[in-house]
Structure 1
Amino acid sequence: MRFSVPTVDIGPYVRGGAVADRDRVAAEIDAACREVGFIQVIGHGVPDDVITGLTEAIDAFFDLPVAEKLSYVRPAWENRGYSAPRSESLSLSAGVESATRMNDFFEAFNVGSTVSDHPGVSMPEHYAPNTWPALSGFEGRVTAYADQAQRVAGTMVEIFTDALGLPRGFFDAMTDASIEVLRMNNYALPAGTEIALDADLTGMGEHTDFGIVTVLWADQAPGLQVLGADGVWHDVAPADGALLINLGDLMARWTNERWMSTLHRVKPPIVDGTIRRRRSAAFFHDGNAEAVVTTLPACVDADHPNLYAPVTIAEHIAAKLAGSRVGVINVAAERESARVMQSQR
């Protein structure tokens, strides 16, 4: 089967379309989730000026002097603030040791949902406060995009509910205080950073996303690769005006891998011996910290035995973050690591 990332117009859900149109969208999403796990979505309703504001904010932050960016580093377990180049290794979150033992060279800045957004949550450690850089307009522009991405993520969960034949609102009680993170990434190293430009250089190591669904804005510079069912890594770039949607581990658990959490990575966009700037912003919708993820009964039968024990979202996310941000290999990611090792690298 030829690899391609399906394009789906989710407008009937965004605009409140007819039932027949929504059913068609749900069927298209089901097929895309079964076959690829990555989707180009159009009709998402995110205004162009909001995306422009986001890109301007990303550029303004990553253009700051290195010393100033480093002042925004936060403890690894908080998943907030600045991550410097080579401070993380995403492959460890998938249970895979980097072949070169070189951490990923991207830099990132994270903001997310906080205790003030969800007063009274039972596990406040998963809702750390944000640190906002002292840049004019940065917080407003980033927040405006995060609000839109959150809306799109909610729409996708609504579509997933219909696609899986679940009762309306099935996921509401597990997502009404969702752990959410907007991670802004930059793949151009700061001036003066010394690193060899060789075949082993990794922009972002192979990994699956941790939660329910990811809403990804990315520019069209090369680098993003998705592992297909054929075991081959395929280049993926967003179409004009599209957002990329991919499934996280928790949806794979709920569906017993009827829908797969897609392995992906970023290779450095190197042109004439230098790394081109590549920017992206991933909004992770992960669910409530205390919610327990248990395989949906409809996804288990004699031909599809249950692959997963129940787990709280907090436990799952903590093991993933310990891999990527602390450097502790995730031994629970046996199925993800097996897929990576079987891939044609």
Structure 2
Amino acid sequence: MQNIPSVDLRDFLSGDPERKQKFVNEIGKAYEDIGFVALKGHFLDDRLVDSLYTEVKNFFSLPVDIKEQYEIPGIGGQRGYVSFGKEHAKGRKEGDLKEFWHFGQYLDEGSKYENEYPANVEVKELPEFNKVGEEAYKMLEKTGVYVLRALAIYLGLDEFYFDKYAAEGNSILRPIHYPPITSEPDNAVRAAAHGDINLITLLMGAQGKGLQVQNHEGEWIDAIAEPDELVINVGDMLSRHTNNKLKSTIHQVVNPPRELWGTSRYSIPFFMHPVSEMKLDCLPNCIDAEHPKLYDDITAGDFLYERLVELGLIKK
């Protein structure tokens, strides 16, 4: 029994107005109730998923000194490698027990964001790594655009409201490696309790226990998806924009039981960000007498900068 609702994107894409509306209602209600769904019918096929996991495992198996050559100073970890323990949750000092890689947006030549986004980093030891990463990035981004279209309808907006913000958005594909745990962690977990920064997160690799979601009663529940499903959750930007109508749910990745300490865990989230100039001001149709405005006006770019400082990735 899954603890988070399962929805099928093929309903939205079916061309049948009733099936499309069914998907809109199901995903909207899930995001009001708990902020997470498991999604079938996305654009990642099995071949691409298998190729991506192979390349990701190959990269994290490289010697530490080679991986560290791909850690780029001065960009807040936005591209390339981020070494073990470097990132921590907001409000915590202990670094998370993980290392990760960042693929970023693929811009057309002459894009106005060319000078805003760092360039993607090429791993010369693994000729397929960047090619497979780019393909997965684009399929996850495509999936995310349709999810945002469904949410726009649910919110009473034009279906394509989010398209102009998602196109060329500052989205990130983050393959994560949680290495084997070799000694008693000192108050550290694989990923401490946090909310995501972005609009929505699309997660590959939630097939085993580890990812937990906090419900409205404050209880931690396991978020486990089927192998053909992505777990998709609301991030803080979308929660803020909807005046908390759609919930950004606190979640964590807990350490495994001691008998599994010797195993690695991999997960691959796609953090869907808008372009930096998007205003995250609370939508007027999400504010009323019972739901007063909760947040100050801010742009996505300013909000992201604040959070990267809080996470320890940018030093002020």
TM-score surpassing 0.5? yes
CA distance in 1, matches of 2:24, 2:260: 44
Q: Which residue number corresponds to residue 257 of structure 1?
A: 244
Question: Aligned letter for 1:318?
Answer: Y
1:268 to 224, 232, 255: 255
CA distance in 2, matches of 1:257, 1:11: 27
Q: Which residue number corresponds to residue 110 of structure 1?
A: 102
Matches of residues 171-182 of structure 1 in structure 2 within 5 Å?
171-182=162-173
Cα distance, 1:222 vs. partner? 2.3
Matches of residues 163-174 of structure 1 in structure 2 within 5 Å?
163-174=154-165
Q: Unaligned 5+ residue runs, structure 2?
A: none
Cα distance, 1:255 vs. partner? 1.1
CA distance in 2, matches of 1:42, 1:291: 29
CA distance in 1, matches of 2:104, 2:66: 21
8 Å contact 1:178–1:288 — kept in the other structure?
yes
Q: Which residue number corresponds to residue 82 of structure 1?
A: 81
Deviations 1:288-311 (A, max 9, x none): 111111111111111110001111
1:228 to 209, 215, 219: 215
Matches of residues 74-223 of structure 1 in structure 2 within 5 Å?
74-75=72-73, 76-89=75-88, 91-92=89-90, 96=91, 98=92, 101-113=93-105, 116=108, 119-121=111-113, 124-125=115-116, 127-134=117-124, 135-189=126-180, 196-198=183-185, 200-223=187-210
Residues 177, 117 of structure 1: alpha-carbon distance in 2 compared, 3 angstrom cutoff? farther
CA distance in 2, matches of 1:325, 1:116: 31
8 Å contact 2:198–2:272 — kept in the other structure?
yes
1:289 to 267, 272, 276: 276
RMSD over aligned Cα, in angstroms?
2.2
Cα distance, 1:4 vs. partner? 2.4
Question: Aligned letter for 1:42?
Answer: K
Question: Aligned letter for 1:6?
Answer: P
Residues 214, 233 of structure 1: alpha-carbon distance in 2 compared, 3 angstrom cutoff? same
SS of residue paired to 1:178 = coil
CA distance in 1, matches of 2:243, 2:115: 29
Question: Aligned letter for 2:241?
Answer: W
8 Å contact 2:67–2:81 — kept in the other structure?
yes
Question: Aligned letter for 1:88?
Answer: E
Question: Aligned letter for 2:97?
Answer: F
Question: Aligned letter for 2:87?
Answer: E
CA distance in 2, matches of 1:68, 1:198: 26
Structure 1 residue 11 and structure 2 residue 3: aligned? no
Q: Which residue number corresponds to residue 343 of structure 1?
A: none
8 Å contact 1:269–1:275 — kept in the other structure?
no
8 Å contact 1:182–1:283 — kept in the other structure?
yes
Cα distance, 1:328 vs. partner? 6.4
Question: Aligned letter for 2:179?
Answer: A
Cα distance, 1:271 vs. partner? 3.8
CA distance in 1, matches of 2:18, 2:304: 37
SS of residue paired to 2:158 = coil
Q: Unaligned 5+ residue runs, structure 1?
A: 330-345
Cα distance, 1:160 vs. partner? 0.7
CA distance in 2, matches of 1:158, 1:36: 19
Residues 54, 162 of structure 1: alpha-carbon distance in 2 compared, 3 angstrom cutoff? same
Q: Which residue number corresponds to residue 340 of structure 1?
A: none
Q: Which residue number corresponds to residue 67 of structure 2?
A: 69
TM-score by length of 1: 0.85
SS of residue paired to 2:288 = coil
TM-score by length of 2: 0.93
